[in-house]
Amino acid sequence: MSQLKGACIIGQSGGPTSVINASAYGAIKTALESDSITRVLGALNGIKGVLEDNLIDMGKEDPQELALMKHTPSSALGSCRYKLKDPDQDDTDYKRILEVFRKYDVRYFFYNGGNDSMDTCNKISKFLMKNGYECRVMGIPKTIDNDLAGTDHCPGFGSAAKYIATSVMEVYHDSRVYDTGMITIIECMGRHAGWLTAASSLAAHKGNGPDLIYLPEVPFDIEQFTASVEEIYKKNKKCLVVVSEGIHDKDGTFIAEYANKNMTKDSFGHAQLGGLASFLANYIKAKTGAKVRGIELSLLQRCAAHIASKTDIEESFMAGKAAVENAVAGATDKMVGFERKYVNGKYACETKLFDLTIVANAEKKVPREWINESGNGILEGFIDYALPLIQGQTDLAIEDGLPRFVRLRKVKAEA
């Protein structure tokens, strides 16, 4: 494969994670050190940065400062949720992208994101090929949801899982402190796949976990749910439940929408809505008369870099590095993914390339065989899968007792 010389663009897209910047840094650092890559450009707010010619010169950042990206949560280059049209319907955006690529002689494009981002990657790659513009396009995955097809797991999941398992252990202790009754309901992210919610079972594995766990993979029956909670509460005076935001009934109606149904105006005439955890807490409180608390982990679970998994950080960095190395070696139109190996029983992870067409827009769910028959608990298979992914503590820089996150100069790139 002939050497391809030119600039590269890296962009980030979709919801951020604690480690998406570790992947971006892996790609940026490797690209800056590569002989084939003449210039490393960062697209601000993902593909929008390309469309608006809003690019920064990563070579103009101080290397020490840039290295802090590895432990900084959220997307340091900014993100977007911009969805490209089907090029056969409207290729305006694609022509603009090609124009900007030509302007900077961009021969490498690295896109760091989830399902939609891999779709974007795929469409751009196909368009450039069709138009005979030589550019190597690589997807670098990230998503706390862990729902990308092909890859064994996704960068970002391990850290969110570690945060969730740890927080659930801590809440477990807190919620048992009084000898009076207490029911606690914790809500995790995950609209269609229950990987994050399942991660709470890692706390149970340590003996400090939920009594009941509900994933979107199994239809949710609010009466069965109430019965299960009441049974455990009657026996133990305590019950800890973890639910996914995406739980829905057999008709596909999200349980969160049960709450919306009762959306009413407050004293100021504004719609008032508490969310799923709050809805279920009030529902169970009314049914049992018990003290019930609903806790929504909200954004905290996807940005808690202070408790990121070292394994996840290093694998995320490796994914970004591999994307550049493989592209320079000639690969294109692929997503970097992970393959799990066990070397004398010890977990190991290697990168592997997946066809973008396969990955784009497919969704990987938690296998039914990892969920108990009643659909309210997680089995050993998941523990074995997830435990290696949360190993190791972050070594993020601390300044005055608080994290020291990256501060980029963001020098506008000139053609």
Provide the annotated active-site residues.
145
Is position 242 an interface residue for a second copy (rule: CB under 8 A)?
Answer: no
Out of 236, 398, 409, 415, which residue is the one contacting a second copy (CB under 8 A)?
398
CA atoms lying within 13 Å on the CB side of residue 287? 20
Out of 274, 331, 351, 362, which residue is the one contacting a second copy (CB under 8 A)?
274
CA atoms lying within 13 Å on the CB side of residue 251? 5
Give the CA distances from residue 197 to residues 45, 143, 244, 332, 366, in Å, rounded to whole numbers and listed in that order. 29, 14, 6, 34, 10
Choose the binding region for a second copy from 237-245, 281-289, 353-361, 364-372 (rule: CB under 8 A).
Answer: 281-289
Q: Which of residues 205-234 bind a second copy (CB under 8 A)?
A: 205-208
| CB of 86 or CB of 400, closer to a second copy | 400
Q: Which of residues 322-341 bind a second copy (CB under 8 A)?
A: none
Is position 253 an interface residue for a second copy (rule: CB under 8 A)?
Answer: no
Choose the binding region for a second copy from 141-149, 231-239, 314-322, 396-404 (rule: CB under 8 A).
Answer: 396-404
CB of 335 to a second copy, least distance (A): 21
Q: Which of residues 7-26 bind a second copy (CB under 8 A)?
A: 15-16
| CB of 227 or CB of 273, closer to a second copy | 273
383: its two tokens: 């523990």
Helix residue ranges per DSSP H, 306-402: 310-328, 356-359, 380-386
Is position 192 an interface residue for a second copy (rule: CB under 8 A)?
Answer: no
Task: Please tell me the distance from the alpha carbon of residue 87 to that of residue 224, in angstroms, as a whole number.
Answer: 48
- Region of 401 please: left (phi>0), alpha (psi -120 to 50) or beta: left
Residue 128 is classified by DSSP as: H
Instruction: State the distance between the two ends of the chain, measured CA to CA, in whole angstroms.
Output: 28
Binding mask 30-69 for a second copy (x = CB under 8 A): --------------xx--x---------------------
| CB of 133 or CB of 347, closer to a second copy | 347
Residue with tokens 């806790």: 295
